[in-house]
Amino acid sequence: MTGSILRRAPLLGVSGLVVLVDQATKLLAASQLADGRIVPLLPGLINGQLVLNTGAAFSLFRGSVQWLGFLSLAVTTGLLIWVVRHRTPPFWQGMAVAFLLGGTLGNGIDRWRLGHVIDFLALVPINFPIFNPADIAINLAVLCFLVDLWSSRTSSRHG
């Protein structure tokens, strides 16, 4: 039993790190940007600008916090079940699940605790919805799933 927990520790560690970074930066952003000011974080690239999002990605389903909170809980539960059942997943698949779990938890915590998600990263050069570290993790999960899909197709053709 201990061995199987240790094999899952890296995935859960990545997820935990995502949640920690997400929640810490959201707390900082909420305290420093609450007055509506915009702060250059990476001048010319990313500004800090506080938005309280009651929807999902790109503000879809705005005002559906309770429904989205339950969806976050369901996805988190499903991902935790997956982690328990898959002792040693392929690297990219495991990373995808770890990032998705961390991102889902990060935004889910906001929905349950605050009734909205704190977004604060604004891209300067393009008109793009304001986002947060949990959103970045979820997008990294999609990228990892695509790499896993591509690498498994490539290895099946050559193997």
Kindly list the catalytic residues. Answer: 119, 135
Assign residue 2 a region: left if phi > 0, alpha if psi is -120 to 50, beta otherwise? alpha
DSSP secondary structure code for residue 132 in this structure = -
Task: Give the bridge partners for 48, in sequence order.
Answer: 39, 121
Among residues 143, 156, 141, which one has the least CA distance to residue 79? 141
Q: Per the structure block, which two tokens stand in for 18?
A: 């995502």
Distance CA 66, CA 27 (A): 21
Cβ(90)–Cβ(96) under 8 Å? no
Among residues 27, 53, 75, which one has the least CA distance to residue 122? 53
Among residues 79, 74, 109, which one has the least CA distance to residue 94? 79
